[in-house]
Structure formats: structure tokens, C-alpha cells
């Protein structure tokens, strides 16, 4: 039997942060897919699905499909795919493992959707009718959400003196940049996305850290996902894959970064510098070509096209160079086929992808874990929306980790690459009370 979805409006005046605080903060196995002030937020809890690195693709393909298609997330599965799943998608041998699960998902059969622009809230549940139990849940959501006052103290960003331990010293990172350039000069790669990791020991409240992060770094693909004691807190600006129920696929790779400036003229100058940069444009174009190639493996012949090329998107702390590639899945191909063909995203590997991942593994000397993977949802109606796990904090009982890095080309200036990596991590470390 195909899944049947029922929904009910709760009215206006709801705030996603307040609702999450009232219903889910401090709980395990919860999620908040946060589209910011102008988008739709999806909040809820779920049951952990039995997945591991070997089974995750089959488990996600088995998420029941057939619900009436609609806009946004219409129940299904929420979670993440870690970078080391590249063993399954690229065929490389992955000898390193992180302390985090390579894959984790929640089975979601009810949720709250809140329009950030209007405050209108709706509850969505799996069922054929509003049973007594579902009505009780709906009214509990209405009562507890409505009890939260609209005015709340905004969390500060005071430094809490947490100490940061970087995986490499600055000198080691600069040496790795030069090693990437040597590999490029030798013809082993065209571009390499080199990364590093900052770690902070201690205990952190995932909700309070995420409140800080979303205040300082608003974005269209933010998230707080907590599964089995691990929390993913993201201010990701990059959509990995969006696949609608009819099989239309789009990806929006980001390559190219400049900092923001407080003075408007200087800020506009930095954006234009990014737009005109030969190095940044070449980097973006290489990743666009890689994503076109990946999508062409599962899309109809001739359907893969570039609809936006080298566009500037500006966020709270950075300007980014973004392109858009679209395609149409071949008949008989599933959305998870597209995910497997494109994972991990070329913007976090380099080109050619397989050799790039091997070179980077040797230089980085660690598992990336959740960082450089993807997170989001697989819907009952066949829609998939996954963001890149970048600009992301990962929390567990041991503390926090933050991945960061950037694309290296033959034209890279090592000191500038180090500065870019530190810039991308700065807002995340500040949210953790460390700089």
C-alpha cells in the first residue's frame, strides 16, 4: 500500500527556533532542516534506521515511495552520508575511519513545517485519517509551541576560551598545498580540494551552539540533526543534489571564495575580484565539468546542461562563486542512483575524482567523517534534497570537530589558501566559543 499523508494547519505566528526549543531541544534523534527567515523549516523526531556503510544505499532505496508529490519534505528519512562512503561509490579502498558513523538516518512519519516568512505552521503525518493518537500529538504540538513567548533572549557570541587543536600546523598545511600543486604539475590531477580539521574538547549544548551559528551565519540549507548522540550543526551554503519526484536533478557546486567587507564599496570590490579571478573561475569550471560527467552517467542523453555559470552569491561572511547543473534521470533510474553517481561531490574532491581522493587521503592523513559528505532528506514522494556537509560543526561526547579547506590549483598562492581555510572555520569556531 502506498503511503498516505495527512496534514493540518496550526495557523500563523510560529517561530521555528522557538518551536524546536519547546519540543526537541535536549532530546536525541531529532532534526531541524532550517531554510532560514524566508524558507520552510522542517522539525521533528524520528526512529533511528539500521544503516551502516554497506547497507545505507539499499536501506534508502527501500524508503517507501508513492506518496502524492508535493513541495518540500513530505516525510521519509532524514540524516547524513559521511565522506568515507566514497568506498562504495568510487571503488577506492578506504583504510581510515572516523569516530562518527559513516551514515545515520531517522525514519520520519510526522513533522512540523514552518514558513519562516509568514510564521504559518502545518503538521504532517503518515496515516489515512486523524486517529485519536495523531490528534493528541497535533494538539500537544499546538499547545507546547504556542506556550513559547515570541520574544526571547538572543544568544550572545562571547568567547568561552575553548582551546582549538588543529590537525596540522600552519606550516604543515602550507606544505600540503605545495604538495597538491606538485601533483597537479605532474599531471595527476587538475584540481584538489585540500582540507584540515579543528577539534575542541568539552561538552556543548547542540541547540545553544546552533542558535549562535544560525544567528551569525544564516543560510538556505542550515540544519541541526542529532542521531545516536552525534549532532550535525550546519550553515551550509551549498546544495549537493535536489531531485524532484519527476526525476529532474539539479546541483549547485561552489568553488571560489572571498571575505565580506563592512564598507559597501570595498565589499563590492571583493565580489568583483572573485568574479574576475582566473584561478577561481578555472576552479569552478573544472568542478562544473566533473558534475556534468557524474550526472551524465544516470541522466537522459542530452539533458545535462549548465543553467547558471559563475554567479556570485553573498553570505554573512563570504562571497561565493556558484554554478548550476541540471539533468533528467533516465527511465528506470532512481534518485539514489544519482546520489551514488555524484558522491562525494566534486567540489570536495577535485578532478579527476577517484585519483583526487587518493592523493588527498595521503596528504590529510585522517578520515574526514561527516565533513565533505552530505545531509538532508529522502522523501516518500521520491524527492531528495541533500546539502553539502561544509561550514558544519559535529558534536559528540568527546567534543566538537570542524572541517575546513579549499580548492587548490596550479595558480593557488599557499598563504591565501591557508587564510581561506581559516576564514571558513571562523564563524563555526566562534559559535563554539573559540577563536
Active site residues: 238, 255
β-sheet bridge partners, residue 250: 242, 326
Q: Is the peptide bond before 320 cis (omega within 30 degrees of 0)?
A: no
Q: End-to-end CA distance of the chain: give it in Å, rounded.
A: 53
| Range list of H helices, 317-376 | 335-342, 353-364
Say which residues have a Cβ less than 8 Å from residue 95's Cβ, sequence separation at least 6: none
Query: Helices 278-296 and 335-342: crossing angle, nearest 10°?
Result: 140
Lookup: cell for 364: 590529510
- In whole angstroms, what is the distance from residue 116 CA to residue 23 CA? 18
Q: How far out from the chain centre does Cα 154 lie?
A: 24
Lookup: cell for 423: 576564514
- In whole angstroms, what is the distance from residue 48 CA to residue 304 CA? 35
| Range list of H helices, 297-366 | 335-342, 353-364
| Selection from 164, 240, 223, 227 nearest residue 197 by Cα | 164
Q: What are phi and psi of 134, to 5 degrees?
A: -70, -35
| Range list of H helices, 28-186 | 56-61, 86-90, 132-146, 170-185
178 in Cβ contact with 194 (< 8 Å): no
| Range list of H helices, 75-116 | 86-90
Q: What are phi and psi of 236, to 5 degrees?
A: -65, 135
Q: How many CA atoms lie within 13 A of 347 on its CB side?
A: 31
β-sheet bridge partners, residue 110: 125
- In whole angstroms, what is the distance from residue 417 CA to residue 363 CA? 15
Q: How many CA atoms lie within 13 A of 10 on its CB side?
A: 27
- In whole angstroms, what is the distance from residue 305 CA to residue 298 CA? 14
Element (H, E) at 413: none
- In whole angstroms, what is the distance from residue 132 CA to residue 130 CA? 7
Amino acid at each position: 500500500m502506498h503511503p498516505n499523508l495527512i496534514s493540518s494547519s496550526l495557523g500563523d505566528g510560529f517561530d521555528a527556533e522557538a518551536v524546536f526549543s519547546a519540543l526537541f531541544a535536549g532530546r536525541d534523534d531529532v532534526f531541524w532542516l532550517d531554510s532560514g527567515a524566508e524558507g520552510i523549516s522542517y522539525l521533528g523526531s524520528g526512529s533511528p534506521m539500521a544503516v551502516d556503510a554497506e547497507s545505507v544505499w539499499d536501506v534508502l532505496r527501500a524508503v517507501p515511495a508513492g506518496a502524492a508529490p508535493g513541495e518540500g519534505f513530505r516525510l521519509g528519512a532524514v540524516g547524513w552520508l559521511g565522506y568515507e562512503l566514497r568506498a562504495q561509490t568510487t571503488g577506492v579502498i578506504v583504510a581510515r575511519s572516523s569516530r562518527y558513523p559513516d551514515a545515520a538516518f531517522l525514519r520520519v512519519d510526522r513533522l512540523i513545517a514552518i514558513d519562516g516568512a509568514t510564521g504559518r505552521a502545518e503538521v504532517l503525518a503518515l496515516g489515512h485519517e486523524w486517529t485519536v493518537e495523531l490528534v493528541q500529538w497535533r494538539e500537544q504540538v499546538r499547545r507546547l509551541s504556542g506556550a513559547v513567548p515570541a520574544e526571547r533572549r538572543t544568544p550572545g557570541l562571547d568567547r568561552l576560551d575553548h582551546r582549538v587543536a588543529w590537525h596540522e600546523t600552519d606550516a604543515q598545511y602550507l606544505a600540503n598545498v605545495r604538495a597538491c600543486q606538485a601533483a597537479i604539475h605532474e599531471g595527476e590531477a587538475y584540481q584538489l580540494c585540500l582540507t584540515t580539521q579543528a577539534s575542541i574538547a568539552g561538552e556543548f549544548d547542540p541547540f545553544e551552539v546552533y542558535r549562535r551559528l544560525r544567528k551569525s551565519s544564516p543560510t538556505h540549507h542550515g540544519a541541526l540533526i542529532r542521531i545516536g548522540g552525534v549532532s550535525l550543526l550546519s550553515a551550509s551554503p551549498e546544495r549537493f543534489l535536489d531531485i524532484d519526484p519527476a526525476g529532474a536533478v539539479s546541483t549547485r557546486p561552489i568553488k571560489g571564495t572571498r571575505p565580506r567587507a563592512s564598507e559597501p564599496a570595498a565589499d563590492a570590490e571583493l565580489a568583483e575580484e572573485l568574479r574576475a579571478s582566473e584561478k577561481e573561475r578555472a576552479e569552478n569550471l573544472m568542478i562544473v565539468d566533473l558534475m556534468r560527467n557524474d550526472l551524465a552517467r544516470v541522466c537522459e542523453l542530452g539533458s545535462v546542461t549548465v543553467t547558471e555559470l559563475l554567479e556570485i552569491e553573498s553570505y554573512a561572511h563570504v562571497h561565493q562563486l556558484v554554478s548550476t547543473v541540471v539533468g533528467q534521470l533516465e527511465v528506470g533510474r532512481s534518485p539514489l542512483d544519482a546520489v551514488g553517481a555524484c558522491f562525494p561531490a566534486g567540489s570536495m574532491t577535485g578532478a579527476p575524482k577517484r585519483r583526487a581522493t587518493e592523493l588527498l587521503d595521503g596528504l590529510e592523513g585522517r578520515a574526514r567523517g561527516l565533513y565533505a559528505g552530505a545531509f538532508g532528506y529522502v522523501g516518500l514522494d521520491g524527492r531528495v534534497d541533500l546539502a553539502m556537509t561544509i561550514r558544519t560543526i559535529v558534536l559528540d561526547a568527546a567534543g566538537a570537530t570542524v572541517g575546513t579547506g579549499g580548492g587548490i590549483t596550479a595558480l593557488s598562492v599557499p598563504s591565501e589558501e591557508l587564510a581561506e581555510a581559516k576564514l571558513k572555520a571562523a564563524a563555526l569556531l566562534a559559535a563554539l566559543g573559540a577563536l
